[in-house]
Amino acid sequence: MAFDVIASSYREREKEHTPLGHAVIAGISFGATGIFAALVGILYLFHERWIVAWVPEGAADPSGLTLGQSLLLVFAMWAGVQVARKTGEERLGAACLLGAGAGLVAGAVLCVLPIIMSLVKLRFMFIALTQHLYDMLTSGLGLGLGVVVLLVAGALAGAFGALLYRLSPRARRPIIYALVWMASIGVFQELIQLLAQQEVLDPIREWFFTWDGLRPQGAIAIGLVAAAVIAVWDTTRARLEETFVALPQGQQRLLHGSGVALLLILVLILFPLVAGNFIGQVMLFIGLFILMGMGLNLEIGLAGLLDLGFVAFYAVGAYTCALLTADSPYAIGQRVDWFPMFNWWWAMGMAVLMAVFVGVLFGIPVLKIRGDYLAVATLGLGEIVRVLVLSDFAAPVLAGAQGVLNIPPPYLFTGAAVDDPIELYYIALGAAAVAAYFAYRLENSRLGRAWTAIRDDEDVAQALGINLVNVKLLAYGLGAAFAGLAGAIFATMLTSIYPHSFQLIISVNVLALIIVGGMGSLPGVVVGALALIGLPELLREFGEYRFFFYGVAIVAVMRLRPAGLWPSAARRREMQLEEETRAAVEAQLAAETESGAASSPEGPAR
């Protein structure tokens, strides 16, 4: 009873907030978020990256807008959005005023930081509180003026946020798209400039960019184009969709399919060609993870066999390739007289076979293990390979911690060596294409159906005549094949391999990319690898925060698109089903409470 009273009075109070109260609460929360970002060091890290930058006449340092400043503005904006939403204020002017209030409060909260910093030295506790951060927060204008800037900027951003919230989607979307595109292109300007490193493009590039960021004119141009494109798209979309839906099913699928294929071809085939070695390297890495993702997808996505030891197969592939081809005393061909030295292509085949063999061996001890225990068991098995390689016992054969060096590149039939990242990337891409075809065929085969069955219910699968032992071992073996292939490419990519290249984190990465991409979905693997392997590579300069963003990205995807970025048809159906069930249950509960309340006016009966 006491609880009821507290709960209901709390609810009352929640309702009682005045609009101004909402503004203060929103402002405090987002101001505090800003302080948090500053304390952990992310804010200044972001501040080092320009979005819009130009060098004024005669000045040495650029001025403009940094990512860090934008982040603070976004916080203030968000505070404005919150107020507008919480109060439900319909009048535009009033909403904007409230938003300004919230932004002002957020700015005021943030002001606390430079004020404290000017009074006491807190660096012994928070190493992120540097003079640089102080300069950033006060805009380099000293405390008095700096605080004014924070307050005014906060208020303006808050009002802008409230304004955006009140606008119709028609008007809002172009603005948001313009801002997002400006920010993205500004953040990745280095990369884009790298790509546009062609003489013909130089004037255009220089019109848009300085060496630090976007020029204001460039930013405005991009914003306008983005806004225009989205506005046109929004107006024509309905009509386009109508025509599209009017087409017969087959043509629809064809159109959709060819659109997606075109995009994939552009990104995967042509992009690295123009992109240079750095991007080539990143793409090669992505390619390796696409291969591994497709393998693990057979195990987890299709057969439902959780496997945290997947890296072992990668290692087996890499070591097989290395020991068969390397110009090293550990190579089998150099230790054993009659044993030939392999070229890379044959070694790759052997790597795949070895991986299959190890995969099947790996599967045997875990055949009867289910669920969570499977995760632990495979985790252990996966570590075994690495520990074995490191052991004194195997060191004479497998080279221990020193690793196997001098792994040669593949040679084409023309005799040319394939040794730069972009060329190797095309080998990886070819391998991935073949692998994707196999994975696709497997998915739709009898074996694929058996995997689906054991994933959904092992006992029933057995009762329907599915041979659990064969089917599971095939899942491990075939899944391992893909990792073995990736391992062989990895070995020649690095030209030397060490046991510490095969840590648990690789298994975790592959698993994460499958989850983010969408369990059991082949295109999901590609999308997941691009997002989770590609982006962090591009964000390398954020250093130790890389995994923080990684975590944020995963959580965000799981919240916003729980079935993954590109879910398989079956998974989409399942999510829909869950959604429907939940809705039905909620509706029923609501109906029950309603009727309960109606039948007993004095409150719920005990």
Partner 1 sequence: MAVLDVQNLHVFYGQIHALHGVSLSVDKDEIVTLIGANGAGKTTTLGAISGVLPVAEGEVSLDGQPLGKIMPHDLVKMGIVQVPEGRRIFGRLTVEENLGMGAFVRKDKDGIVESRERVLEMFPVLKERMGQVAGTLSGGEQQMLAMARGLMSRPRVLLLDEPSMGLAPMLVEQVFGAVQQVRDQGVPVLLVEQNAFMALQIADRGYVMETGEISLQGSNRELLENEDVKRAYLG
Residues that bind partner 1 (CB under 8 A): 446, 449-450, 452-453, 456-457, 459-460, 462-468, 570, 573-574, 577, 580-581
Q: In degrees to the nearest 10, what's the CA dihedral of 312, 315, 317, 320?
A: -120
**Amino acid found at 251:** Q
Rounded to whole angstroms, the Cα distance separating 561 from 528 reads: 13
Residue closer to partner 1 by CB (options 457, 592) is 457
Taking the complex as a whole, how short is the minimal distance between the CB of residue 569 and partner 1, in angstroms?
Answer: 10
Taking the complex as a whole, how short is the minimal distance between the CB of residue 570 and partner 1, in angstroms?
Answer: 6
Label each residue of 407-448 as H, E or C: CCCCECCCCCECCCHHHHHHHHHHHHHHHHHHHHHHHCCHHH
Taking the complex as a whole, how short is the minimal distance between the CB of residue 269 and partner 1, in angstroms?
Answer: 35
Taking the complex as a whole, how short is the minimal distance between the CB of residue 565 and partner 1, in angstroms?
Answer: 20
Residue closer to partner 1 by CB (options 131, 249) is 249
Q: Which two tokens stand for residue 109?
A: 């909260």
Residue closer to partner 1 by CB (options 202, 579) is 579
Residue closer to partner 1 by CB (options 457, 594) is 457
Residues ≥6 apart with Cβ < 8 Å to 489: 284, 287, 288, 291, 348, 424, 427, 428, 431
Rounded to whole angstroms, the Cα distance separating 370 from 390 reads: 30
Backbone torsions φ then ψ of 109, nearest 5 degrees: -60, -40
Taking the complex as a whole, how short is the minimal distance between the CB of residue 467 and partner 1, in angstroms?
Answer: 4
- Are 483 and 288 in contact by the 8 Å Cβ rule? The answer is no
Q: What share of the chain is helix, strand, coil (3-state, %, to 5)?
A: 75, 0, 20
Taking the complex as a whole, how short is the minimal distance between the CB of residue 572 and partner 1, in angstroms?
Answer: 10
Helix (H) or strand (E) holding 450: helix 446-456
- Are 49 and 66 in contact by the 8 Å Cβ rule? The answer is yes
Taking the complex as a whole, how short is the minimal distance between the CB of residue 210 and partner 1, in angstroms?
Answer: 54
What is the DSSP annotation of 500-565? GGS-HHHHHHHHHHHHHH-TT-HHHHHHHHIIIIIHHHHTGGGGGGHHHHHHHHHHHHHHH-TT-S
Q: Buried (b) or exposed (e) across 176-214, using 16+ Cβ within 10 A? A: ebbbebbbebbbebbebbebbeeeeeeeebeebbbebbb
Residue closer to partner 1 by CB (options 358, 461) is 461
Taking the complex as a whole, how short is the minimal distance between the CB of residue 355 and partner 1, in angstroms?
Answer: 27
Residue closer to partner 1 by CB (options 460, 552) is 460
- Are 201 and 39 in contact by the 8 Å Cβ rule? The answer is no
Taking the complex as a whole, how short is the minimal distance between the CB of residue 559 and partner 1, in angstroms?
Answer: 22
Residue closer to partner 1 by CB (options 237, 446) is 446
Residue closer to partner 1 by CB (options 441, 446) is 446
- Are 354 and 316 in contact by the 8 Å Cβ rule? The answer is yes
Polymer length of the chain? 606
Residue closer to partner 1 by CB (options 90, 459) is 459
- Are 483 and 317 in contact by the 8 Å Cβ rule? The answer is yes
Taking the complex as a whole, how short is the minimal distance between the CB of residue 263 and partner 1, in angstroms?
Answer: 29
Taking the complex as a whole, how short is the minimal distance between the CB of residue 301 and partner 1, in angstroms?
Answer: 13
Distances (CA, A) of 94 to 97, 137, 494, 512, 554: 5, 29, 62, 45, 38
Taking the complex as a whole, how short is the minimal distance between the CB of residue 588 and partner 1, in angstroms?
Answer: 15
Residue closer to partner 1 by CB (options 123, 446) is 446
Distances (CA, A) of 130 to 45, 98, 127, 201, 542: 12, 33, 7, 40, 18
Taking the complex as a whole, how short is the minimal distance between the CB of residue 448 and partner 1, in angstroms?
Answer: 12
Residue closer to partner 1 by CB (options 4, 580) is 580
Residue closer to partner 1 by CB (options 135, 458) is 458
Residue closer to partner 1 by CB (options 190, 574) is 574
